[in-house]
Amino acid sequence: MNVVTAIGEARDRIRAARAEGKRIGFVPTMGYLHRGHLELVEISKRHSEYQVMSIFVNRIQFNDPKDFSSYPKDLQRDLDLARAAGVDLVFTPDEGEMYRNNLTTVDVSLLTDHLCGASRPGHFKGVFTVVSKLFNIIQPDVSIFGQKDIQQAVSIEKMVFDLNFPVKMIIAPTVREQDGLAMSSRNKHLDAEKRRNSVCIYRSLKRAEELLVSGETDSGRIRSAMEKTVLEGSPDRIDYISIVDYASLQPVERVSGKSVIAVAVFFGSTRLIDNMIIEFEGGGIKCVY
Amino acid sequence: MNVVTAIGEARDRIRAARAEGKRIGFVPTMGYLHRGHLELVEISKRHSEYQVMSIFVNRIQFNDPKDFSSYPKDLQRDLDLARAAGVDLVFTPDEGEMYRNNLTTVDVSLLTDHLCGASRPGHFKGVFTVVSKLFNIIQPDVSIFGQKDIQQAVSIEKMVFDLNFPVKMIIAPTVREQDGLAMSSRNKHLDAEKRRNSVCIYRSLKRAEELLVSGETDSGRIRSAMEKTVLEGSPDRIDYISIVDYASLQPVERVSGKSVIAVAVFFGSTRLIDNMIIEFEGGGIKCVY
């Protein structure tokens, strides 16, 4: 496995792989890898022959400087995990390599109005900008994003379409802990009690699924039931429980087409998110977590 | 020469050329070609073996709908000129091929505050967005932009740097009519008298060069002298006469480093622009028009 910090060297190595006829798979990360990231690499391998992972904690997407400075880091462990997962190239630039007096931003309107966009001003613009940069540096054939960050995944999918990036995007289902908590680098901030209680988020999605399967389609009633379930975990604050249309990410009053139920909850100062995608198939309902 | 309207077909043809080892040169245009555009193709040929030209009047960069609807068009003539110039592929999509419920925009801050950015709100965002799309569709090795649109050229240069587009950018000097008027598709809107008078713009740049060569560096005094020269052409309105730093495009009080003198003047409702780049070389001054 090659570990490179310079854009030029990353490009050279990828060019060499492409010249051997290999397709380039790309998993962007902010490091502190967990099984969720490694699953993205597994999926990428099914679609490509050369695996690139970026590890870069992208300051410009943190609306809260404290969240940035406390973001967990362990590069040596990350590299060991990436190597074991079969990654060919880790691109881990420093901030000076990525940003020099940056004036350019990429934004996707409407899709970022609600959900995390409402409580994290500037966050998505920072995400779109760094992903555009990484796409132009890596020039992947395929790139894999986790469903856990559903608003990110759907709006990057739209960005790829709108700007004609020559990249195939795949959104991979969320990988979970034994009890159902979505894997996240931020879970390490939870103490034992909060960690136990945090399963209420997953349970609230399960509760929504029960209601949907039983024929409930009213967003208000589904959200009320979810809120009750979340509150059983005594969170410090519920940021949102939202039901939105998949393509537009705008709230819906009634679940009728492809939709997303998304939840964001604070345990202490740690903000946890989770979601499920609802699809209607052959008269039935399919929920993807 | 191939003429294609579909993104997929453009990509296929360019991929085939690249597979033959050819470098891809790209000249984006809005059509109604003049010698200025053809000169860009000539320069592109020196750096690449397969010439792509796009012809697309990009509605989202027109802040004035009337300017969009009156923008001159003559596709057949354009294709004849492109063929004669040795273009290999003309990509001329319709609006539906380029934009379907577009939500994504690219912007470059600061560089678009002054000059044309001040009087054409939204214009540059539309330019950056379409150029990003075209870069992702064509994936050129080199792309040539005219100096006449200096603010566009400098800020796209910055966008390419900031977003790491794998494209080499070249800014080519302005091609002029016999009397010095910068070539522009909009010149056709001028009646005979306005056309004669419009040379005052070029003369004002020449006047600035005289002053600079004689040792004058005060922006205010240079601009006053230029204004006097422009007014000799009885324009309907001067939009701006500005002296700015080349890299930042911010106004300077004194010409000391690489700078741009830029002019925008209305003759009737037709807005004409021109500029010169000032470089200091070996104790002397070089002005590039």
Check whether residue B197 and residue B168 sit in a common domain: no
> Which residue of chain B comes nearest to A7, CA vs CA?
B164
The reply to whether A12 and A153 lie within a common domain is yes
B37 is catalytic: yes
Same domain, A34 and A106: yes
Q: Which of B126, B142, B172 is the last residue of a domain?
A: B172
**Residue reference for tokens 């995400």:** A127
SS3 per residue for B81-125: HHHHHCCCEEECCCHHHHCCCCCEEEEECCCCCCCHHHHCCCHHH
Last residue of a domain, one of B140, B172, B204: B172
Q: Are B121 and B52 in contact (CB under 8 A)?
A: no
Task: List the domain range (segments joined by +) for residue A219.
Answer: 185-284
Contact (CB<8Å) B165/A136: yes
- Res. B282: pLDDT tops 90: no
Nearest-5° Cα angle at B175, B132 to B236: 90
Average pLDDT over chain A, rounded to whole?
A: 97
- Asked whether residue A113 is assigned to any structural domain, the reply reads yes
Segment B218-262, tens digit of pLDDT: 999 999 999 999 999 999 999 999 999 999 999 999 999 999 999
Predicted pLDDT of residue B281: 87
Task: Give yes or no: residues B14 and B70 share one domain.
Answer: yes
Q: Do B163 and A111 touch (CB under 8 A)?
A: no
SS3 A93: coil
In a domain, A180, yes or no: no
User: How many domains would you assign to chain A?
Assistant: 2
Same domain, B19 and B96: yes
Residues on chain A touching B105 (C-beta within 8 angstroms): 106-107, 109
Residue B21: pLDDT band with limits 50, 70, 90: very high
Residue among A37, A114, A123, A189 flagged as catalytic:
A37
Is there a domain that residue B180 lies in? no
Residue A93 Cα, gap to closest chain B Cα (Å): 13
Q: Assess whether A158 and A231 both reside in one domain.
A: no
A49 and A101 belong to one structural domain: yes
Q: What are the angstrom distances between the C-alpha of B221 and each of B186, B210, B215, B224?
A: 30, 12, 12, 5
Q: Give the per-residue pLDDT at A283.
A: 83
Alpha-carbon A79 to chain mean position: 20
Among residues A232, A224, A177, which one has the least CA distance to residue A203?
A232
Q: Does B59 reside within a domain?
A: yes
Tokens of A282: 């052959």
Q: Among the three residues A172, A199, A226, which one is the final residue of a domain in this structure? A: A172
Q: What is the pLDDT of residue A281?
A: 87
CA distances (Å), B132 to each of B57, B103, B115, B125, in order? 15, 14, 22, 11
Q: Answer whether A165 touches B (CB < 8 Å).
A: yes
Residue-wise pLDDT for A263-286, tens only, equals 999 999 999 999 999 999 888 999
Per CB-CB distance under 8 Å, the chain B contacts of A129 are 163
Q: Are A198 and A181 in contact (CB under 8 A)?
A: yes
| Residue pLDDT, tens place only, B150-205 | 999 999 999 999 999 999 999 999 999 999 999 999 999 999 999 999 999 999 99
Task: Reduce the DSSP state of residue B58 to 3 states and report it.
Answer: coil
Question: Would the CB atoms of A109 and B103 count as touching at under 8 Å?
Answer: yes
Inside any domain, residue B178: no
For residue A102, pLDDT beyond 90 = yes
Closest residue, chain B, to A21 (C-alpha): B19
Q: Using one digit for the tens of pLDDT, what is the confidence trace for B88-141?
A: 999 999 999 999 999 999 999 999 999 999 989 999 999 999 999 999 999 999
Amino acid at A55: I
Residue A29 lies in a domain: yes
pTM for this one?
0.96
Instruction: Assess whether A113 and A207 both reside in one domain.
Output: no
Q: Which residues of A touch B137 (CB under 8 A)?
A: 164
B70 and B120 assigned to the same domain: yes
Tell whether B11 lies on the interface with A, counting CB pairs under 8 A. yes
What's the pLDDT at A58?
97
* CATH, residue A142: 3.40.50.620
- A151 and A197 assigned to the same domain: no
CATH number of domain containing A228: 3.30.1300.10
Cβ–Cβ under 8 Å, residues B275 and B148: yes
Give the count of beta carbons closer than 10 Å to the beta carbon of residue B117.
Answer: 20
| Residues A158 and A261 grouped into a single domain | no
Do B21 and B161 lie in a common domain? yes
Structure tokens at A229: 């379930």
DSSP-assigned beta bridge partners for residue B52: B26, B89
Q: What is the pLDDT of residues A142-181, one digit of tens each?
A: 999 999 999 999 999 999 999 999 999 999 999 999 999 9
Q: Does the distance separating the beta carbons of A105 and B107 come in below 8 Å?
A: yes
Question: In which band, very low, low, confident or very high, does the pLDDT at B271 lie, cut at 50, 70 and 90?
Answer: very high
Place of tokens 């779109």: A128
**B289 within some domain:** no
Helix, coil or strand: residue A10: helix
Q: How many CB atoms lie within 10 A of CB B186?
A: 16
Summarize pLDDT for A219-268 with one digit per residue, the tens: 999 999 999 999 999 999 999 999 999 999 999 999 999 999 999 999 99
Residue B105 lies in a domain: yes
